Structures are given as structure tokens and as C-alpha cells.
Structure 1
Amino acid sequence: MTLKPLSVPSLLDKLEASYGAQKPCWPVEPYEFLIWWHCGYPASDVTCTKGWTALKKEVGVEPRQILNATQAKLAHALKAGGMVPEVRAMRLQQIAERVENEFGGDLRNAFVGRIEDVRKKLKKFPGIAEPGADRILLFGKIAPVAAVPSNCPHVLVRVQLGLERENYSVTYGEAQSLIEAEIPKQFHPRQRAYLLLKEHGQTLCKRTKPKCQECPVSSHCAYFAGKDRGRSRPL
């Protein structure tokens, strides 16, 4: 196969032509995202949304509503989102308590000063590492950072560079660098990139057993070109 490399924006255009325009299925308000993220386990768009819907109906999602509820009531609502609802109920109350006590009931009070400091504050919440903090910063319109989907940072690295690294942090950093270099530092373009790469990673360019034969960008993918060369080698 002859590789026909594309710029990252052109690659995203092809993905959008295949999948259509994407919208986040999670709450983009930072505090609400923190709650949504713990509404499902194992965490996924489907499980978190199920738990979130039940929580809103049975308890509510505001900090005071969560703190005033018993853990048993929270756990009952969170069962809709999957396993260990008791643990997730505890996490929700930890989040709500911190927002109330440290930020006066409004998490946006934390978003002052350097982005590095804001990111550190976010990473102190349960279950939030670098990718999660970046996601909150980008979709909460706090800073147009080069966020990369946490469960598929390999997508852009595969297509553009050939192979993801064995170290997750290195792969994530390389994907960020590709976005930084070619996607304008604005909210909409970088949100669009995140959503399209996420969709492609979950649908076809999976971490294991990617469906390369069905991929709309395989003729531009360095990873697929390498596989193709491997198939053509004589035994």
C-alpha cells in the first residue's frame, strides 16, 4: 500500500464525513462532569449516563442534594450505572463536600490563576488524572488545551506515526503534540478533534483488534501501511 499522508485537520474532515458531526454525551459543566464520571462503573458513556439519569431523578446532582442524601439512597440510584454503587456514593459525597467547603458550592471558583494550578486542583478529585483534567478544561471552556480521549490516545499516533508507544503517558503526550501543532488553539476545533478521535477509537481503531479493513482513513494511516508491508513480506 502506498501511504498518502494527510494533515490532522484533513484527517478529521474524513472522520467527520464518515461518522458525522459529534457532540459530547456528558455534562460539560465541570462540577457536573465530575459527578457524571462516578455515576457508572466500569465507567463508559453508557454506564455513566444511566447512573446520572437515575441520580438526577432520585436525588439530584447539586452539592447540597448529594450531601443531604444518605449513602444508601445514593447507592440505590447509582445501581443503574453498574458495579460498586456504595463506593461511588462515597466518592460523590467527597466531591460535593470539597466543592462546598473549598469553593463555596461553585467549582468554577477554583478556575483562577495559572492553568497548571487549576489542573492540579482538578487532579485532587477522585478518579481524575491528566486526561480527565484536560477534558474538563477543554469542554468546560476553561482553557483550549490539547485534550486527548483517555481510552484511545493511540488513534492519532497510529495514523500519523505508525505505532503507539508501550508507555501510555508517552503515547498521550505524542497525541497532544500532534494536536498542538495542527489544530488551532480554540475551543471548537479542539473539542471537534477530541470527539472525532474518540468515536473512531471506540468504533474501529480499537486498542486491540482494530478493524482496519473497515477504516475510512486506512489509505492515509501509517499503522495500516506497516501492517500491509508486513503481509507482503515473503516467508
Structure 2
Amino acid sequence: MNKEGIDKVLEILRQTYPDAKCALNFDSPYELLISTILSAQCTDKRVNIVTKDLYKEYNTPEKMVTLSEEELGDKIRSCGFYKNKSKNILEASKTILSEHNGRVPSTMDELTKLPGVGRKTANVVLSNAFGVPAIAVDTHVFRVSNRIGLAKGKTPEQAEKELMKNVPKDMWSDTHHYLIWHGRNICKARKPECEKCPLAPYCEYFAGASKEE
């Protein structure tokens, strides 16, 4: 996709999803970090239900580490993969306490050294908690950006690099949210609703599907 096409796609996304923002509920960088870890292969809606109760008592690393893996696992069970998530959350919380004075770090390098934190989670935290321009590539962003032609990448890391190159830096964080909302509402995994998609005239996937008909 050329620059003119990219600019048009970004403008349409901006107009279509003016209120797009992070769907996870949080009141601190720590809460967002934990919610993002929980959101792996789980809906944001489910995470918000779980954390509404969890954060009433365990919304800081100091409080979180008073739980055992089993106790925390019981509280987050419905988010899936609860044993692994419980272990990572407690290990990350301990590291935040021992190496960062109880504060969630605000750099990619420091965040990705925390147990259970990859680039996607780190980018979500950097963007939404610290206001750092970032594009977190989740399943929606990966699928939609590849379909449209906004970024071509066989891995989330490749897609992230392409998006960072093609999207103006001051639009990175907003574009991340636009693509997520578009993936949830129209460009769905199994059956994209191309007939009502405002991006259809510029979309490489739609152009290919049209030729096949």
C-alpha cells in the first residue's frame, strides 16, 4: 500500500472510531499491567469482571504478593491459563518490588524483563499508562493490518515494525486502538463483514476476494 492509501485508511479509521480507547479498566500502571497479562487469550470483558473484585484488595504489588499461586489462581481462573498467569503475575510483582521500588517500569527494556511480559503487553502499558507512542500487536491488530495491507508481517514483531514505519509516530497509539475496534466490529477473524466495511475500496484482502468472484 502506498502512502496515499495508508493516509486514507488512517483517516477513515479515525473518523469511524473517534472514541476508540483501551477496553481494559484500570486506575494505575500496575492494574493495567496485570489486566493485560490476564487478557492473553481472554476477552477484555471477562478480565474486567475478574479484576473488579480482584483489585478491591489486591491492586498493588505489595498486596498481590501476599497471595499464593493457588489463591491467586482461584481468583483469576475464569480468564483461562490461570496457573501460568498466576505464576507470572506473582513473579512480576516480586520483581517490581525488588528492582523497581514497587513502581511499574516505563521502558520497553525494563518491562519485557518482567516475567510474563512480552512486547505486546509492554506496548499496551507504555501507550495507555505512560503516554508513550506504541503499537501493541494483538491478534486483531495482526490480522487487520495484514488484511488491509497496512503492514505485511508473518509474525507480530514484523507487523509491529511495518506499522511503525508506515504510520506516523503521533498516531501509533490511536491506530492500535482503531485496528482493534475494527477487528472486533467488522474485520472479524472467521467472517469479515466486507460489505459494510468503509475500508473496502482500499483493502488488499477485499480486492483479492472480489477478483475471485
Instruction: Name the TM-score class by shorter chain.
Output: 0.7 to 0.9
Which of 11, 14, 34 pairs up with 1:13?
A: 11
TM-score scaled to structure 2, two decimals? 0.82
The reply to whether residue 213 of structure 1 matches residue 195 of structure 2 is: yes
Which of 136, 154, 176 is residue 194 of structure 1 equivalent to? Answer: 176
Partner of 2:72: 74
Report the CA distance shift for 1:63/1:90 in structure 2 as closer, same or farther (over 3 A). Answer: same
Select the residue among 171, 174, 179 that pairs with 2:162.
174
Q: Superposed, which structure 2 residues align to 1:1-235 within 5 Å? A: 7-26=5-24, 27=26, 29-40=28-39, 42-57=41-56, 59-79=57-77, 81-107=78-104, 110-111=105-106, 118-141=107-130, 143-145=132-134, 147-151=135-139, 152-160=141-149, 164-179=152-167, 183=168, 185-186=169-170, 189-231=171-213
2:164 partner amino acid: Q
Report Cα offsets for 1:16-56 as digits up to 9, x if no partner. Answer: 44344212122374322221123356333122222211211
Q: Note if contact 2:37-2:117 (Cα within 8 Å) is conserved in structure 1.
A: no
1:156 Cα shift? Answer: 2.9
C-alpha separation in 1, matches of 2:53 and 2:27: 18
Q: Which has the larger radius of gyration?
A: 1
Distance 1:148 1:64 in 2: 27
Q: Which amino acid aligns with 1:150?
A: D
Report if the CA contact (8 A) 1:71-1:90 is conserved: yes
8 Å CA contact 1:154, 1:172 repeated in 2: no
Relative to structure 1, the CA distance from residue 76 to residue 98 in structure 2 (aligned partners, 3 Å threshold; closer, same or farther) is: same
Counterpart contact for 1:40–1:51, Cα < 8 Å: no
The answer to which structure, 1 or 2, has the higher relative contact order (CA under 8 A, 6+ apart) is 1
Is the 2:35–2:51 contact (alpha carbons within 8 Å) kept by the matching residues of 1?
yes
The answer (yes or no) to whether the contact 1:148–1:175 under 8 Å persists in 2 is: no
Assess if the C-alpha contact under 8 Å between 2:111 and 2:117 holds in 1. Answer: yes
What letter is aligned with 2:124?
R
In structure 2, relative to structure 1, the CA distance for the partners of 1:62 and 1:200 (3 Å cut) is same
CA distance in 1: counterparts of 2:130 and 2:5, whole angstroms: 25
- For 2:209 and 2:89, the matched residues in 1 are separated by 45
Paired AA for residue 62 in structure 1: T
Unaligned stretches of 5+ residues in structure 1: 112-117
TM (normalized to structure 1)?
0.75
Long gaps (5+) in structure 2: none
Q: In 1, are the aligned partners of 2:127 and 2:173 still within 8 Å (CA)?
A: yes
Relative to structure 1, is the Cα distance of residues 64 and 141 closer, same or farther in structure 2, using a 3 angstrom cutoff? closer
The answer (yes or no) to whether the contact 2:42–2:80 under 8 Å persists in 1 is no
- Would you identify which runs of 4 or more consecutive aligned residues in structure 1 move more than 6 Å? none
Conservation of the 8 A alpha-carbon contact between 2:37 and 2:85: yes
